[in-house]
């Protein structure tokens, strides 16, 4: 009986580590190469949709950041979807020439806001839709790069989301997690012929495609998981556009980190149950991309929980190995592969400036993630809002983000 339990734990944690290792190495050694195009004479008409829920503190500066983009001004429109913004904020936005669509719901979600906006917009005005969060600031060439990819035939695009701030230990940890996720779940996935996972912002689509997909999307939490599943089900490959940067505010403290991860972890469990059988049926039909999104990603332990599991088991086998069946070296190899998979995605500059901060704060973050496992009840049915306050970019790693 003990051997069976040991074997189950070994297989599950080992499989999670192997996934991260395989995709991390693939992203490093076999990056998917896009066609090199300096620019395009054809400029798509782009609707930039910015759902803003109680984001009065940052929304004006964010909306203004789109005014200086390297893209013809008459070819894109910034549309703020104002959910519970103050009347004065709406007046100021409109005075700046920004289109504002006020919305109100008993239970707010991003999908509801976007659907309400699409219902009011004229379809014949746009070729593409970009979705950004209310705290996001695009790089100056963001729309140009997205348009080039669209002209090349990519109609579902995830840009590289980059940290706007690295001013607290939690912001640094959050930024490191996103760099690792970009490399493994997006760059590595594309390198292996799979769709990149969607983050929920910094995303661009053919206009009619996303409008129709959102009509079929009903989610309080995990909006991105539902959307990517729908797109893959429709036969679209999600392309990761590493060169297009969208700056995103990272959480600053433990409370914000806990709220954000609670929402993410809850949605992962909910959609694993929802898509599990459908995923295996798709696999039997050879639809590997659908299975990967539906089951593969959702069965993985979040990296902080995987870290806790792998090193706890390695420690147990180091101390009590003589009384257990699985040899210690098996866990040592798994731990080593996990470390490599987490370090490969990070740029060299990160090690010299921030690695010590990450190591010192890892125990606290792992503790928060372990505690969250027992606090998930009802989290996916509640809209958990993360407050934002940063209006400028302060990230010393910006120069290495696009490399």
Strands (E), 290-367: none
Q: Which residue ranges does the chain devote to CATH 3.90.550.10?
A: 46-252
Q: Domain 46-252 falls in which CATH fold?
A: Spore Coat Polysaccharide Biosynthesis Protein SpsA; Chain A (3.90.550)
Alpha helices in 84-168 (DSSP H): 87-95, 110-120, 142-151
Task: Answer yes or no: are the C-beta atoms of 156 and 205 closer than 8 Å.
Answer: yes
Longest dimension (CA), the chain: 73
Beta-carbon contacts of 242 under 8 Å, excluding residues fewer than 6 positions away, are: 160, 182, 186, 187, 402
pTM: 0.91
Query: Tens of pLDDT along the chain (403 residues)?
Result: 777 888 899 999 999 999 999 999 999 998 765 554 556 679 999 999 999 999 999 999 999 999 999 999 999 999 999 999 999 999 999 999 999 999 998 888 898 999 999 999 998 999 999 999 999 999 999 999 999 999 999 999 999 999 999 999 999 999 999 999 999 999 999 999 999 999 989 999 999 999 999 988 776 667 888 899 999 999 999 999 999 999 999 988 888 888 888 888 888 888 899 999 999 999 999 999 999 999 999 999 999 999 999 999 999 888 887 777 888 889 999 999 999 999 999 999 999 899 899 999 999 999 999 998 887 766 555 555 677 777 778 888 876 555 4
Residue for token digits 């140009």?
A: 144
SS3 165: strand
Query: Which of 11, 24, 76, 88 lies closest to 50 in space, CA to CA?
Result: 76
Strands 239-248 and 137-138: antiparallel
Taking phi first (over 0 means left), then psi (-120 to 50 degrees means alpha), and beta for anything else, what does residue 235 get? left
């Amino acid at each position: 009986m003990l051997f069976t339990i040991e074997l189950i734990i070994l297989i599950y944690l080992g499989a999670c580590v192997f996934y991260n290792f395989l995709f991390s190495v693939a992203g490093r050694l076999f990056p998917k190469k896009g066609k090199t195009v300096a620019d395009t004479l054809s400029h798509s008409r782009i609707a930039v949709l910015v759902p803003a829920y109680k984001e009065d503190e940052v929304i004006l500066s964010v909306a203004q950041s789109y005014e200086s983009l390297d893209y013809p001004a008459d070819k894109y429109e910034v549309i703020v979807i104002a959910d519970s913004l103050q009347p004065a904020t709406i007046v100021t936005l409109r005075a700046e020439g920004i289109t504002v669509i006020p919305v109100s719901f008993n239970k707010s979600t991003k999908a509801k806001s976007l659907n309400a906006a699409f219902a009011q917009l004229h379809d014949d005005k746009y070729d593409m839709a970009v979705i950004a969060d209310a705290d996001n600031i695009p790089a100056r060439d963001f729309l140009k790069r997205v348009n080039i990819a669209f002209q090349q035939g990519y109609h579902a695009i995830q840009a590289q989301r980059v940290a706007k701030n690295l001013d607290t230990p939690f912001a640094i940890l959050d930024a490191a997690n996103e760099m690792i996720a970009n490399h493994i779940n997006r760059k590595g996935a594309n390198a292996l012929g799979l769709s990149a996972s969607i983050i929920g912002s910094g995303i661009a689509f053919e206009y009619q495609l996303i409008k129709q997909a959102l009509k079929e999307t009903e989610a309080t939490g995990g909006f991105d998981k539902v959307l990517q599943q729908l797109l893959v089900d429709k036969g679209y490959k999600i392309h990761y556009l590493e060169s297009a940067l969208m700056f995103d505010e990272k959480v600053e403290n433990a409370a914000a980190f806990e709220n954000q991860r609670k929402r993410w972890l809850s949605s992962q469990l909910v959609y694993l149950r929802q898509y599990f059988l459908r995923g295996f049926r798709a696999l039997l039909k050879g639809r590997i991309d659908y299975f990967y999104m539906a089951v593969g990603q959702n069965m993985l332990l979040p990296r902080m929980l995987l870290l806790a599991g792998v090193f706890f088991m390695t420690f147990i086998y180091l101390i009590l190995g003589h009384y257990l069946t699985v040899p210690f070296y098996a866990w040592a190899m798994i731990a080593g592969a996990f470390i490599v998979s987490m370090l490969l995605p990070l740029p060299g500059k990160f090690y010299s400036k921030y690695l010590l901060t990450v190591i010192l704060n890892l125990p606290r973050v792992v503790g928060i993630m372990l505690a969250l496992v027992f606090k998930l009840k009802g989290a996916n049915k509640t809209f958990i809002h993360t407050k934002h306050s940063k209006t400028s970019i302060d990230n010393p790693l910006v120069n290495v983000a696009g490399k």
